[in-house]
Amino acid sequence: MINHLPILPILIPALTGALLLLPPLQRSMRHQRLLSLAATLLTLFAALALYNSSGEATTHYLLGNWEQPFGIVLVADRLSTLLVLLTAVLSFGVVLYANAGTDEAGSFFHPLFQYQLMGIYGAFLTGDMFNLFVFFEILLLASYGLLAHSGGKARIRASVQYVTLNLIGSALFLVALGLLYGTLGTLNMADMADRVAMMRDDQLVLLEAALLILVVVFGLKTALVPLQFWLVRSYAAATAPVAALFAIMTKIGIYGFYRVHIGTFGHQPELNSGPMQTLFWIMAAVTMVVAIIGVLGSKNLRTLTANLVLISVATLMFTVALGSEAAVSAGLYYLIHSTLVTAALFLLADIIAHKRGPAADNFVPARPMSQRTLISLTFMAVAITVVGMPPMSGFIGKTLILVSAQSGSQQLAAWSFILIGSLASLIGLSRAGTSLLWHTTGSKAPAETTSALPIAALMLFVLSAPVMVVLAGPLTDALAQTAGQLLTSATEVALQ
């Protein structure tokens, strides 16, 4: 009996997306919402089961039953199933929020959403470099549609730039794949890791070129300086659920670094030491500086959140630069935390913008909000989590990263940049909180209140922070094993 679990997170969204486009469902918004919600919930259960099964053994799912390394393979190891589970949780909250009415602003929200999920799950699960490219394209094509969703001048303009940049990124990805195949003769990640050891020196140069091109490709997805220009404009322009879903998109680039640069080629010291490592450090540091300037200069909550995404990306990039088992494990904790909390902040920004009428989420005095206590307390909780103050999950995540820096020079670079980034987040969010919640004009708040569905979606993300703190012990143990598996798998994975 073959275990078909690994294919489910790809199959369910693919079938749902197709079903949603068929006439009986396409007409009725209510049916679309129900089906989309049911499919997301189903995928969540599949992801949970998959994550549980990965604890015992890594499943290799051979598509078409072609033997490895000749056929395409899905690899459900600890890292991929963890990120699939994270995406499933995120998508559940996002679809709840979208069902409250944002999905009506344009057509085809739910099909695009499902296809985007299919691409993300596929990118995490695949064990084949070319398939990674294909799933990248699937998720990008869906994200182009989602970004432009519900139209408008700003969104379309952001889309043109986002699409152009990503098409160039795809072309570069193919160049890197050509180089990898030309030198290694395989695109199966585990097989690549095996063959690197047998490379001659003149081939290693080509391989290093391929890995450097991949830095550009993943750097573009992650939005590292100097490839970050698209991020703030597109994230600030996108509708709230889309921006919240995009919280996982930058993390896919980080996953690429973990999987390819650290997992597959990390055990080859000639490739990963030297210029590549220096490049990672510089990119992380400069991204942090640019993000800090962005955070301090933001004029509304959505732009601020987009810049906070940059800060989290820079922080994660330090773990890539450190590259040790402890750093990756800490990075994964921070990755989960920052994905969920960024989603919370994007949803909160949207709720606040709706409540403040024409002033939206700009940092200007406006009428007071309804449900002010609830919104204020939620904002405070989210802000503390983002900044990384105890008792929330950001504190644990950042501390783990800081502790994982071993030598003096590593500590100097990582500690100073990450801590100054946290200070900037603190200043930015304090300014946002005071101007949005305290500086009010007029005396009466409008009577209309936000309905239960968006609040529930928001709370799902907000409450993830205390849950991550309570479960910090078992979670960090599991993540340490995940990081350990990633760093040793490259050398150990035997081709069945």
Partner 1 sequence: MEGLYAICVGVLTSCGIYLLLRGRTFPVILGLIMLSYAVNLFLFASGRLNSNMATILGESDTFADPLPQALVLTAIVIGFAMTAFMLVLSIRAYSENGNDHVDGKPADERVHDSSIAADKGGQKE
Cα 9 to chain center, whole Å?
A: 17
Nearer to partner 1, 149 or 267 (CB): 149
* Rounded-to-integer distance, Cα 51 and Cα 80, Å: 9
Which one of 163, 313, 340, 400 is in contact with partner 1 (CB under 8 A)?
A: 163
CB 349 → partner 1: shortest distance, Å?
19
Q: Does 150 bind partner 1 (CB under 8 A)?
A: no
Residues numbered 349 to 378 that lie near partner 1 (CB under 8 A) are 358
Nearer to partner 1, 184 or 465 (CB): 184
Nearer to partner 1, 42 or 206 (CB): 206
Amino acid at 379: F
CA trace torsion 101, 107, 110, 112 (10° rounding): -140
Nearer to partner 1, 63 or 427 (CB): 63
Q: Does 216 bind partner 1 (CB under 8 A)?
A: no
Nearer to partner 1, 37 or 63 (CB): 63
Kindly indicate which of the ranges 149-157, 255-263, 449-457, 473-481 contains the residues binding partner 1, using the contact rule CB under 8 A.
149-157
* Rounded-to-integer distance, Cα 167 and Cα 364, Å: 38
Site string for partner 1, 184-203 (x = CB under 8 A): ---x----------------
The bridge status of strand 59-62 relative to strand 73-76 is antiparallel
Nearer to partner 1, 108 or 181 (CB): 181
Cα–Cα separations (whole angstroms), residue 35 to 44, 93, 114, 141, 241:
14, 15, 11, 22, 17
Residues numbered 322 to 341 that lie near partner 1 (CB under 8 A) are none
Cα–Cα separations (whole angstroms), residue 366 to 346, 380, 444:
20, 19, 11
Nearer to partner 1, 45 or 229 (CB): 229
Kindly indicate which of the ranges 75-83, 133-141, 193-201, 383-391 contains the residues binding partner 1, using the contact rule CB under 8 A.
133-141
* Rounded-to-integer distance, Cα 231 and Cα 221, Å: 9
CB 155 → partner 1: shortest distance, Å?
9
Kindly indicate which of the ranges 148-156, 348-356, 411-419, 432-440 contains the residues binding partner 1, using the contact rule CB under 8 A.
148-156
Nearest residue to 411 (alpha-carbon basis) of 229, 281, 295: 281
Question: How many residues touch partner 1 (CB under 8 A)?
Answer: 29
Nearest residue to 113 (alpha-carbon basis) of 93, 131, 128, 127: 93
Question: Would you list the DSSP string of 207-271?
Answer: HHHHHHHHHHHHHHHHT-TTS-HHHHHHHHHS-HHHHHHHTTHHHHHHHHIIIIIIIISTT-HHH
Which one of 37, 62, 141, 427 is in contact with partner 1 (CB under 8 A)?
A: 141
Which residue ranges make up the site for partner 1 (CB under 8 A)?
130, 134, 137, 141, 144, 148, 151-153, 156-157, 159-161, 163-164, 167-168, 170-171, 174-175, 177-179, 181-182, 187, 358
